[in-house]
Amino acid sequence: MLEPGLEHQQKRRRRWPWLLAALILIAGGYWLATRQPAGTAGGDNPFSRRGMLGAPVPVKVASVEQGKIDFVLKAVGTVTAYNTVVVRSQVDGELVEVAFDEGQKVAKGDLLARVDPRSYQIALDQAQGTLQQHQAELRNARRDLQRYQQLFKQNSIARQQVDTQSSLVQQLQGAVVSDKAAVDNAELQLSYTRITAPISGRLGLRAVDVGNIINASSTDGVVTITQIQPISVLFSLPQAQLPQVAEKMRQGVPLQVALYDSADLKQIATGRLESIDNQINVDTGTVRLKARFDNEDELLFPNAFVNVHLRVDTLEALLVPTAAIQQGSIGAFVYVVDDSNKVHLQAIETGHVENGRSSVVSGLKQGQRVVVEGVDRLREGATVEVAAAGDDSPSAPPGASSAGPAQSGGAGSRADSGPDRAGQEQPSRKGGTAQGSRKPDQG
């Protein structure tokens, strides 16, 4: 038997030929995969790196147009009723009738409920009886006073008796006035047994049932009425945006306010800006505004959250699709396609954004073509193939399926299929505003 050291050395010698053969196979496979046939250009081999870079990149383009764009300020608002009333009883007693349905629309003065009126009717009758008694006494006292005055003229009675009778008449006159006030109060208390709607609006859920004793001091109430037509929306804007809005308000220009659902996709109401608060919140640096809506279709409910779009102005500007705008180290830029179908990186200054369109302040001219899809594989000076108007998306170049996943979508996320684009961050957009961190490649 061999010694353990010699046996280990023999095993190591037997491994070397196998390792060498494996390295040769790997090198040969790489050479076969990357070699080019003699007499052909690098771009003729669709599976080579140079072939992919030399092939025209399919893209979709859009023209720079002159048009109108709305200057819109966006915020989150809360639907707020102009009037909300908790209907309470103003007298004590048993609730004997509820004359409404929950959720019903009522007009001002409609009967809602009744409290047992019997005790208040009795009090009214007593006050009326006292009033009639004192009125009869007053009439008799006035007749006696007339007799005493006639007798005094004849020197038949003393003046003191006339003065005493005159004072009695005045006392009874005061008693009658007090009795009339008592009658009025009793009538008022009796009218309170009929609980009516103080405003027009929609009723909420009933808070008390028939047969319960309700008190004027109770804070629970019978039902709540909320005015829903018209209705308001409260929202806040940063103080930096206040001068633009305040200037239009001072000029008397009506500013349109549109409301959108929670997803900020569907418009649910249109109204106008009504007022601006008189001070800025020092904690948030914002100012509150109120907009008014007719709410004829009753889609707006109090305390609901909505997305507010306040249109401040309509401007004339150069417009491009927001999907065409990229962001990089030089700021906002686009790829411009010239007449020879070559792309050139162009830095631009953007303005307002609305409904997938962005205004361009500088950097572009009307009629130029900009790339809106397929920007992931573009380089400065690269040749592109403009997709037809009916194509859903630009087709992938030869070999793209083996090199990596093809591009999907234009303004959304993009998968990079080029090998030299690996590791670069892709642009992302949200809410129609071009955003991203991909740095432009200028060759």
Q: Sign of torsion, CA 9 14 20 22?
A: negative
The pTM for the full model equals 0.62
Whether 311 and 418 have beta carbons less than 8 Å apart is answered as no
- pLDDT band for 185, please (50, 70, 90 cuts): very high
What is the predicted pLDDT for the residue at 439?
44
258 beta partners: 270, 309
Question: What does DSSP assign to residue 439?
Answer: P
Question: 288-318 b/e with 16+ CB inside 10 Å = b?
Answer: bbbbbbebeeeebebebebbbbbbbeeeebb
Give yes or no for residue 8 having a pLDDT over 80: no
What is the predicted pLDDT for the residue at 376?
84
- pLDDT band for 435, please (50, 70, 90 cuts): very low
- pLDDT band for 321, please (50, 70, 90 cuts): very high
What is the predicted pLDDT for the residue at 2?
47
For the stretch 144-162, pLDDT in tens is: 999 999 998 888 888 999 9
Peptide bond just before 405 cis, omega within 30 deg: no
- Residue 441 backbone zone (phi > 0: left; psi -120 to 50: alpha; other: beta): beta
Which of 136-140, 243-247, 388-392 has the least mean pLDDT? Answer: 388-392
Give yes or no for residue 443 having a pLDDT over 70: no
Give the domains, in start order, of the chain with CATH numbers: 52-69+316-435 (2.40.420.20), 117-192 (1.10.287)
What is the predicted pLDDT for the residue at 416?
37
Higher pLDDT, 434 or 239: 239
What is the predicted pLDDT for the residue at 131?
96
What phi, psi does 64 have (nearest 5°)?
-75, 125
* CA-based end-to-end distance of the chain: 68
Whether 406 and 58 have beta carbons less than 8 Å apart is answered as no
Average the pLDDT over 300-310 and give the result: 94
333 beta partners: 326, 347
For the stretch 38-48, pLDDT in tens is: 444 444 444 44
What is the predicted pLDDT for the residue at 41?
44
Q: Enter the tokens of residue 115.
A: 């409290």
- pLDDT band for 143, please (50, 70, 90 cuts): very high
For the stretch 47-95, pLDDT in tens is: 444 444 568 888 999 989 998 888 889 999 999 999 999 999 999 999 9
What is the distance, to the nearest Å, from the Cα of residue 99 to the centroid of all Cα atoms in its chain? 37
Give yes or no for residue 170 having a pLDDT over 90: yes
